[in-house]
Amino acid sequence: MRHTFCPTESLTARPIHSARKDALGRLYADGFPYSRGLKAHKSCVNYLAFSRHDGRWLASAGDDFCVQLWDFSLEDVQRPSHAFTGPAGNVLALDFSATNQYLYSGGADNVILKYDMSTTSGVGSSSSSSFIGQYKNHDDSVRALTCHPYEDEIFISAGEDGKLVLHDGRAGSRMSAAQGTLQHMTEFTGVQHHPIMEHVFATSDVHGQVCLRDTRMAFGPLSKRSNHGIVRVYNTKLSRKTTKYLSNPESSSLTFDRDGSKLAVTFLHYFPTIYTLSDPHPLAICTGHNAPDGSPIPPSQRTYTNSCTMKSGAFGGPGMDEDDMYAAGSDDFRGYVWKIPPLNTLQGLRKEITAHDWYTREWPNTVAFSEGQRENRYVPVEIRTPLARLNGHRSIVNSVAIHPSLLHIVTSGVERQVILHSPTPSSPAARHLLPTMSTVRTLQPHDLEAQRTFLRALFGPHPTLHEDIEGSGNEAEEDTISLFDHILREEGEADVFAVRRWGEENEDSESDDDDETPIDLFDTSFSD
């Protein structure tokens, strides 16, 4: 029977939606103060991904060449239920296919592996299996990969060889290697499919460029390609009145929210930045200048920074029909979660400054985004107060994933463990979680013992990844932490204007190779 819309339905739904939002707000009021370490990996854990829709599976992978699967349908998840083997290098990227039929991984061995999720055994059992397919299209590390929103066999990979590759495993519908490859002049750092529009995807690269692209224009015969598939270039360059040049921070990863209305970019040496799909100028930056209670962080204390490792962020909204949270890892040994205001609120608060006003007035402590020295400046809203700071780690946090329905966030990084965070001590997937320590480890100054540990981490003997020698695992992890402590002391909290200088006279961007102007994807004249 055809359903007829009744005006009272929306009136009824609004109070229910509001009540749910209020209830969840009360749960999140104290952040995520409970946690548990999920331990199975033998080295750094670089990437985390929940399976789509119900989030039954958490996939984790890193430097131990193994993909672990954690089953969140269990009453108390504590250990992995399945493992996939096959990588011959550090795993840097994971993604589940549209219906969770497959899981794909890619990394430092230049190879993408395809795993069949139907090989996972029953609930609660522990087993392992190998890959069922492999793709060897890249000549350097596979930095990111993203699956089509509706087709299990289609995905896009991005590599440090500057290649974007469109893969289609369906019989009879494969492109040639040349038709399925787009060659860029610099390394890609991220690629993300739009969650609804099947032809649309976004990319980021080490030169700081963030683009929205269309597969119909990016791939296929050269005669049908246009402008490298670019339909929008986002404004990612920074301007500061006291500095006579612009800065272009490396855009090190990017992600869409669930309906594709928001795009978040993680910048090296700068803050996570929020864009709306149809506007090239940023709406908000997420900082940690305040504590979750709103009090300012003293200058002597470390807060959100991203200077030393490859990080990825995630949108989420557990229990809601929208993603109003964004989370990312930080060099201060924490994960951060920010509540993102509605887009129309952010658009109303963003400040636009004409080039004339920028040069004729004083703008103390203002960092703006600008597409060029003679262009207007845009000052996005600063979200200074995070909803929560996720403690529990002893070193840098690189990856964050938010469960699509349960009230959990997971984090990982330099350490071997994945940490499961929760606003409550128990949930449908976890029991008897313990309070997380409210403080984090202090980065110690460089001394003789730190120097010895650092040298041992670089040159000393290490047990192999699969050795199970009592005590050797802890010692190896301490050496790894010491190594990254040294990197933090050398490179941490660098000024982005000092390390990422950009000038229009030596601009190096992909769009310069083509005289065509990016097509406005949101112009109704754009046809299929």
Range 351-361 burial, b when 16+ CB lie within 10 A, else e: eebeeeebeee
pLDDT higher than threshold 70 for residue 170: yes
Residue 57 domain-assigned (yes or no)? yes
DSSP-derived secondary structure for 381-405 = EEE-S-SEEE---SS-EEEEEE-SS
Residue 355 domain-assigned (yes or no)? yes
pLDDT of residue 480: 87
Give me the mean pLDDT over the 118-129 stretch.
Answer: 72
Q: Where are the alpha helices (DSSP H) in 169-227?
A: 215-218
Q: How far apart are CA 296 and CA 384, in angstroms?
A: 9
pLDDT higher than threshold 70 for residue 462: no
Least confident residue range of 17-21, 282-286, 415-419, 432-436? 17-21
Q: How far apart are CA 310 and CA 90, in angstroms?
A: 13
pLDDT of residue 451: 58
Residue 462: is it exposed, middle or buried by C-beta count within 10 angstroms (0-12/13-18/19+)? middle
Least confident residue range of 111-125, 372-386, 416-430, 460-474? 460-474
Residue/partner pairs of 301-305 with CB below 8 Å, 24 or more apart = 302/331, 302/332, 302/443, 303/330, 303/332, 304/271, 304/328, 304/330, 304/332, 304/334, 304/336, 304/386, 305/330, 305/331, 305/332, 305/492, 305/493
pLDDT higher than threshold 70 for residue 468: no
DSSP-derived secondary structure for 86-130 = --SS-EEEEEE-TTSSEEEEEETTS-EEEEEGGGS-STT--EEEE
pLDDT of residue 227: 95
The pLDDT confidence band at residue 453, using thresholds 50, 70 and 90, is low
pLDDT of residue 167: 95
Specify the DSSP class assigned to residue 259: T
Contacts of 265 (CB under 8 A, 6+ apart): 204, 210, 234, 236, 251, 253, 254, 272, 273, 275
pLDDT higher than threshold 80 for residue 145: yes
The pLDDT confidence band at residue 416, using thresholds 50, 70 and 90, is very high
- Summarised one tens digit per residue, pLDDT across range 254-269 is 999 999 999 999 999 9
pLDDT of residue 22: 78
Residue 470 domain-assigned (yes or no)? no
CA-closest candidate to residue 427, choices 452, 449, 409? 409
pLDDT of residue 485: 86
Q: How far apart are CA 34 and CA 43, in angstroms?
A: 24
488 φ, ψ (degrees, to nearest 5): -60, -45
Q: How far apart are CA 421 and CA 315, in angstroms?
A: 16
Q: Per the structure block, which two tokens stand in for 377?
A: 């400046």
Angle between helices 448-459 and 472-491 (to 10 degrees): 110
Mean pLDDT in the chain?
Answer: 87
The pLDDT confidence band at residue 152, using thresholds 50, 70 and 90, is very high
- H or E stretch covering 188: strand 188-193
pLDDT of residue 262: 98
pLDDT higher than threshold 80 for residue 18: no
Residue 108 domain-assigned (yes or no)? yes
Residue 482 domain-assigned (yes or no)? no
Residue 407 domain-assigned (yes or no)? yes
Q: How far apart are CA 490 and CA 494, in angstroms?
A: 9
Residue 384 domain-assigned (yes or no)? yes
The CATH number of the domain holding residue 272 is 2.130.10.10
- Summarised one tens digit per residue, pLDDT across range 335-377 is 999 999 999 999 999 999 999 999 999 999 999 999 999 999 9
pLDDT higher than threshold 90 for residue 194: yes
The pLDDT confidence band at residue 510, using thresholds 50, 70 and 90, is very low
Q: How far apart are CA 428 and CA 153, in angstroms?
A: 32
Q: How far apart are CA 155 and CA 104, in angstroms?
A: 9
pLDDT of residue 274: 98
- Summarised one tens digit per residue, pLDDT across range 210-228 is 999 999 999 999 988 999 9
- Quickly count: other Cβ atoms within 10 Å of residue 3's Cβ: 6
CA-closest candidate to residue 132, choices 107, 162, 153? 153
pLDDT of residue 121: 64
pLDDT higher than threshold 80 for residue 39: yes
Residue 230 domain-assigned (yes or no)? yes
Domain residues for the domain of 352 are 32-442+495-513
- H or E stretch covering 479: helix 472-491
Contact 460, 479 (CB under 8 A): yes
The pLDDT confidence band at residue 23, using thresholds 50, 70 and 90, is confident
pLDDT higher than threshold 50 for residue 418: yes
pLDDT of residue 521: 47
pTM of the full structure: 0.89
pLDDT of residue 447: 57
CA-closest candidate to residue 190, choices 173, 207, 172, 214? 207
pLDDT higher than threshold 70 for residue 205: yes
pLDDT of residue 487: 86
Contact 315, 258 (CB under 8 A): yes
pLDDT of residue 162: 97
CA-closest candidate to residue 190, choices 227, 145, 223? 145
Give me the mean pLDDT over the 22-44 stretch.
Answer: 90
Number of folded domains that form the chain: 1
pLDDT of residue 494: 86
pLDDT higher than threshold 50 for residue 475: yes
Which range has highest mean pLDDT (139-153, 464-478, 482-496)?
139-153
- Summarised one tens digit per residue, pLDDT across range 298-339 is 988 889 999 988 999 999 998 888 899 999 999 999 999 999
- Beta-sheet pairing, 262-267 with 154-159: unpaired
Range 67-93 burial, b when 16+ CB lie within 10 A, else e: bbbbbbebeebeebbbbbebbeebbbb
pLDDT higher than threshold 50 for residue 410: yes
The pLDDT confidence band at residue 6, using thresholds 50, 70 and 90, is very low
- H or E stretch covering 316: strand 314-316
